[in-house]
C-alpha cells in the first residue's frame, strides 16, 4: 500500500490544489469568526445583548476563546442573561485553558478575591495574573500593581513592587498604569520623587487617552473628561474641556452613560 505522503508526491499538483483549497476554506472560516466576534463586541457596546449572545454563544460552544470571554462577561454582569459569577468563571477558565491572556488574568483575579466559585488563594491568583502579564496583558500588569499598592485581598502591601508592575503596564501602553506611575513619581510612592518623570508619564497617559477619545472610545472620553474636571493626570482644571469630553461620552449608548451624565452635571 502506498503511503499517503507518497501519493501526494506522485500527484503533487492534485495534492497542492487540495491543500490550497483547504487553506482557503479555513481562512474563510477564520475570517467569518473574526467578523462575528467584531459584530458581537459592537452589539455589546450598544447594549444589544441579545445579538451579542446570538453571535458569541455558538462560537464559544465551538471553543473560540474570545467568544468564551464574551459569554463570561455577560454572565459576570447579568447582561442579557441572569447574573451568575460562577458560570462566568466557567467561561473564563475555558478561555484561560487555551492560553487566552485575558482569561488567565480574569481567573487569577477571581482566585485573589475568592470570587465566582473559586477559593481565596492569593498565591495562585498572582501566579496566573503574572503569567498573563508575561504574555503581554498590560491591563493585568496594572492590576497587579494595584494589589501591591494597596495590599488588597491579602496581597502583601509593597509600593516598590507596585511601581515595578505599573512600569511594566505603562511600557506596554496601559493608560491607567501610566497615570499611576506618574502619581508615584509625583508623590514619591515606592520610588524617589521625580517631577520630570511624573510629567513624562502623565503626558503619555493623556496623549493615549486623547487619541482613544478622538476615535470614539467612550471609556477614554469619560476618563479624559474626569481628568479635566478633577485636575488629575497632570492636567489643569478645565471645566470647558471636562464638559466637552464627558458630553461626548454621555451621547453614546453604553453602560457608562449614567457616569458620563454625572460627569456632565459636575462640569456645568
When divided into structural domains, the chain yields a total of: 3
pLDDT for position 73:
94
* 8 in a structural domain: no
* 97 in a structural domain: yes
pTM above 0.85, yes or no: no
pLDDT for position 33:
67
The CATH number of whichever domain residue 192 belongs to comes to 1.25.40.10
Same domain, 227 and 193: no
pLDDT tens, residue by residue, 171-202: 999 999 999 999 999 999 999 999 999 999 99
* Alpha carbons 60 and 104: distance in angstroms, whole number: 17
**Which cell numbers hold the place of 4?**
499517503
* 238 in a structural domain: yes
Q: Alpha helix locations (H) across 192-238?
A: 195-214, 218-230
Helix and strand element counts for the chain (H, E):
14, 0
Same domain, 199 and 152: yes
**Which cell numbers hold the place of 237?**
482644571
**Which cell numbers hold the place of 137?**
496583558
* 121 in a structural domain: yes
Question: Closest by alpha carbon to 162, among 148, 179, 173, 182?
Answer: 148
The range of the structural domain enclosing residue 229 comes to: 216-268
pLDDT for position 206:
96
**Which cell numbers hold the place of 106?**
480574569
Same domain, 200 and 237: no
Question: Closest by alpha carbon to 176, among 147, 149, 206?
Answer: 206
How does residue 221 score in pLDDT terms, banded at 50, 70 and 90?
very high
Q: Calculate the CA 108 to chain-centre distance.
A: 14
Question: Helix, strand or coil for residue 139?
Answer: helix
* 173 in a structural domain: yes
Same domain, 67 and 95: yes
Q: How does DSSP classify residue 83?
A: -
Contact 228, 237 (CB under 8 A): yes
pLDDT for position 32:
58
Q: Which whole number is the average pLDDT over 244-258?
A: 90
pLDDT tens, residue by residue, 5-58: 333 333 333 333 433 333 333 343 355 567 888 888 888 888 899 999 999 999
Q: What angle do CA 157, 161, 164 make, to 5 degrees?
A: 150
* 73 in a structural domain: yes
Same domain, 179 and 230: no
* Alpha carbons 168 and 33: distance in angstroms, whole number: 32
Long-range contacts of 111-115 (CB under 8 A, 24+ apart): 112/147, 112/152, 112/153, 112/154, 112/155, 113/153, 114/153, 115/85
Last residue of a domain, one of 135, 163, 191: 135
pLDDT for position 255:
80
* Alpha carbons 88 and 99: distance in angstroms, whole number: 17
pLDDT tens, residue by residue, 160-178: 999 999 999 999 999 999 9
Same domain, 196 and 141: yes
pLDDT tens, residue by residue, 62-94: 999 999 999 999 999 999 999 999 999 999 999
* 79 in a structural domain: yes
pLDDT tens, residue by residue, 91-114: 999 999 999 999 999 999 999 999
Q: Please, what sign has the CA dihedral across residues 243, 244, 245, 251?
A: positive
* 181 in a structural domain: yes
Amino acid at each position: 500500500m502506498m503511503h499517503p505522503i507518497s501519493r501526494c508526491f506522485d500527484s503533487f499538483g492534485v495534492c497542492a490544489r487540495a491543500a490550497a483549497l483547504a487553506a482557503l476554506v479555513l481562512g474563510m472560516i477564520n475570517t467569518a469568526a473574526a467578523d462575528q466576534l467584531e459584530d458581537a463586541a459592537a452589539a455589546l457596546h450598544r447594549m444589544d445583548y441579545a445579538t451579542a449572545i446570538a453571535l458569541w454563544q455558538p462560537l464559544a460552544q465551538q471553543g473560540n476563546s474570545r467568544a468564551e470571554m464574551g459569554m463570561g462577561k455577560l454572565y459576570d454582569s447579568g447582561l442579557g442573561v441572569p447574573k451568575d459569577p460562577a458560570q462566568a468563571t466557567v467561561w473564563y477558565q475555558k478561555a484561560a485553558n487555551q492560553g487566552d491572556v485575558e482569561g488567565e488574568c480574569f481567573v487569577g483575579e477571581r482566585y485573589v478575591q475568592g470570587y465566582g466559585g473559586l477559593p481565596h488563594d492569593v498565591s495562585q491568583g498572582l501566579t496566573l495574573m503574572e503569567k498573563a502579564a508575561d504574555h503581554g496583558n498590560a491591563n493585568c500588569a496594572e492590576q497587579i500593581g494595584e494589589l501591591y499598592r494597596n495590599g488588597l485581598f491579602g496581597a502583601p502591601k509593597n509600593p516598590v513592587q507596585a511601581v515595578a508592575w505599573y512600569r511594566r503596564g505603562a511600557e506596554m501602553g496601559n493608560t491607567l498604569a501610566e497615570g499611576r506611575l506618574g502619581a508615584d513619581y509625583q508623590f514619591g510612592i515606592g520610588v524617589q520623587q521625580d517631577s520630570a518623570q511624573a510629567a513624562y508619564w502623565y503626558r503619555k497617559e493623556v496623549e493615549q487617552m486623547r487619541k482613544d477619545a478622538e476615535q470614539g472610545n467612550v471609556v477614554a472620553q469619560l476618563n479624559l473628561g474626569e481628568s479635566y474636571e478633577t485636575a488629575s493626570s497632570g492636567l489643569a482644571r478645565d471645566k470647558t474641556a471636562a464638559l466637552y469630553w464627558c458630553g461626548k461620552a454621555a451621547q453614546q449608548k453604553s453602560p457608562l452613560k449614567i457616569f458620563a451624565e454625572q460627569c456632565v452635571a459636575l462640569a456645568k
